[in-house]
Amino acid sequence: MAGYELPLDQPTAAPRRIPAGQPFELSLNLVRLGLYWVGAMVVVGGLQVLLIGDYLLLPVALAALPALLILFVYLATNARRGPTLAINPEGIWVSLRVRGFVRLGPQFTAVFVPWAAIDRIYVRRVALDKRICVAPRNPREFHLRSYPNVDVFDVLQRFYGTPLHASLTFGDRPADSVLETITRYAAGRTPIEP
């Protein structure tokens, strides 16, 4: 399927999901993501019990229940998301979160960036998460600020330099495979920084 360009006069016309049938798709590995967050909760809760004492075991266990519920909602929301990155000969699709952590209504939209409109593609690591970042030459062309409730735009801009990114750490394909595919499809049309 050919790329989908966002019409300049209709910023809300972008699809909620990346269209199916792309030559290369990267989705979140929800099992790995869930285990990562459960492990983090066990470490934090375990440290609290070790540092403060055994009498804190029950409050920590009770605090873990709402945390597990929030984690379940987070994973269910990301399961609806579909692929986070797709690559084709015309450009790159990126799934963009347009609303905060848990809200009603559509939380994601898909943005297509043609190869000619990409300034650079690079890998950025924040904490344990390694991400592939797509920096468009002119972000205004893609109406990234005009979506309703883009409340995470500034945070993503600060951490990754662009709101268009996808996780390599929690992806369902190896990072090397993703970078090789991007290099092959880009065919020298955009700089790629591993």
Cα 35 to Cα 23, 49, 79, 117, 192, distances in angstroms? 29, 21, 15, 37, 31
Query: For residue 72, what is the DSSP state?
Result: H
As a whole number, the mean pLDDT across the chain is 77
**Residue 135, token pair as written in the block:** 């920096």
What are the tens digits of pLDDT across the range 122-181? 998 877 888 888 888 877 666 554 444 444 555 666 666 677 888 888 889 998 999 999
**Residue 190, token pair as written in the block:** 């955009």
Query: For residue 6, what is the DSSP state?
Result: P
HSE of 193, CA atoms in CB hemisphere, 13 A: 12
Q: For position 159, what pLDDT does the model report?
A: 66
Q: What fold does the segment set 15-28+82-193 form as a domain? A: PH-domain like (2.30.29)
Full-model pTM = 0.74
Mapped onto helix, strand or coil, the DSSP state of residue 67 is: helix
Cα 177 to Cα 7, 119, 135, distances in angstroms? 32, 22, 20
**Strand arrangement of the beta sheet that strand 165-167 belongs to:** 165-167, 129-136, 118-126, 192-193
